[in-house]
Amino acid sequence: MTDSVLAIDIGGTKIAAAVVDADGTIRTDQLRPTAASADPDQVFAGVESAVRALIPRLEPSGGRIRVGISSAGPIDGPAGTVSPVNIGAWRGFPISTRVHDVLAERYGADAVTVGLAGDGHCFALGEHWLGAGRDVASMIGMVLSTGVGGGAVIANKLFTGVTGNAVHLGHISVNAWGPKCVCGGHGCTEMYARGPALVAAAQQQGWRGGDDARALTAAARAGDEIPLRVIDHGMRALAAGIATTATELDVAVVVLGGGVSKAGEVIFEPLRRHLRDFAVLDYVAELEVRPAILETAGLLGAAALAFSQE
Ligand SMILES: [Zn+2]
């Protein structure tokens, strides 16, 4: 019988759950919309329904069911609770216990172990296991979309930090005199580099080509001056954030994914160029930014988290 785990990926718009084999094969999966409800139980009902649908396909290995959960953050890893910015109904929601209890009904409380990590962390774990970072022991994973997230794998192990929120790349400051961020800080990376910030900056400069990052990057690829300038500016901020993180962690490979990064060279070229201004110490001078290759890095990262449990 193949060794397999249950992986769950909880985002602001959808919930994915899957039975994943030890070689990364997604054997069977379930997708549910994330309920736009103020009732925490109603949001959890989507998770529960996906998990219950997979129970017939779950096979205990060594008498155990191992589960990995990836959730939008912030999370409290040791407590097993989540308070996702984009799921307002969940504040300190005990996701690990709730998932555990659904499975414990069927397999017994002691047979079920649940691991929890933030989505940026699971993205890094997934790309490290089966994606663009599979040939290196240490890497930083970064997601550039409507926000900026991240995580790091150091010496083949997820670097969680004390509460499970380490490498919060979107909210490190790259401008100590910058405007106030939604997080309360000033001049955070995310304020300059996230998709909606790039679009807003372009519109402020008179660009009228659309209202999302996809339109913006398409216009930049076509040589439109304002989008090119705005992306260059945003990628300089991101480069400073990446270089700071890589310099602190002493890591030489960064894997970049997320919707905005899918635009390709129009993002990667300025990012790599600006990195040369910030990644200047010898040990990060060769800092490499690679495009992510997995479509389901978060889900596979949650599976990796489940497999990593003792
Ligand atoms: Zn911030």
Return the closest-CA partner of residue 306 out of 70, 62, 2. 70
Cα–Cα distance list, 296 to 114, 136, 206, 212, 258 (Å): 20, 20, 36, 23, 11
Ligand 1 mean position to 55 CA, how many Å? 40
Are residues 151 and 104 in contact, defined by beta-carbon separation less than 8 angstroms?
Answer: no
Calpha distance 287→251 (Å, rounded): 8
Ligand 1 mean position to 197 CA, how many Å? 13
Ligand 1 mean position to 183 CA, how many Å? 4
Ligand 1 mean position to 70 CA, how many Å? 21
How does pLDDT run across 205-242, given as a tens digit for each residue?
999 999 999 999 999 999 999 999 999 999 999 999 99
Return the closest-CA partner of residue 132 out of 304, 289, 308. 289
Ligand 1 mean position to 75 CA, how many Å? 16
What stretches of the chain show up as alpha helix (H) in DSSP? 40-54, 95-107, 119-130, 189-193, 195-204, 213-221, 225-249, 265-278, 297-307
Ligand 1 mean position to 270 CA, how many Å? 23
- Residue 31 has a pLDDT of 97
Q: At 111, which amino acid appears?
A: A
Are residues 309 and 115 in contact, defined by beta-carbon separation less than 8 angstroms?
Answer: yes
- Residue 1 has a pLDDT of 52
- Residue 61 has a pLDDT of 85
Ligand 1 mean position to 214 CA, how many Å? 23
- Residue 104 has a pLDDT of 96
Calpha distance 41→242 (Å, rounded): 38
How does pLDDT run across 27-71, given as a tens digit for each residue?
999 999 999 999 999 999 999 999 999 999 998 888 899 999 999
Mutual orientation of helices 213-221 and 225-249 as an angle, nearest 10°? 110
- Residue 2 has a pLDDT of 66
Are residues 115 and 290 in contact, defined by beta-carbon separation less than 8 angstroms?
Answer: no
Residues 87-123: b if buried by 16+ CB within 10 A, e if exposed: bebbeebbbbebbbebbbeeeeeeebbbbbbbbbbbb
What is the three-state SS of 33-89? ECCCCCCHHHHHHHHHHHHHHHHHHCCCECCEEEEEEEECCCEECCCCEECCCCCCC
Ligand 1 mean position to 93 CA, how many Å? 23
Q: For the chain, which residues score pLDDT lower than 70?
A: 1-2
Ligand 1 mean position to 192 CA, how many Å? 10
- Residue 296 has a pLDDT of 95
237 by DSSP, 3-state: which? helix
Residues 298-307: b if buried by 16+ CB within 10 A, e if exposed: bbbbbbbbbb
CB atoms within 10 A of CB 144: 31
Are residues 75 and 116 in contact, defined by beta-carbon separation less than 8 angstroms?
Answer: yes
251 by DSSP, 3-state: which? coil
Ligand 1 mean position to 196 CA, how many Å? 14
Q: Is the pTM of this model over 0.75?
A: yes
- Residue 310 has a pLDDT of 74
Calpha distance 32→121 (Å, rounded): 22
End-to-end CA distance of the chain: 19
- Residue 272 has a pLDDT of 98
DSSP state of 151: E
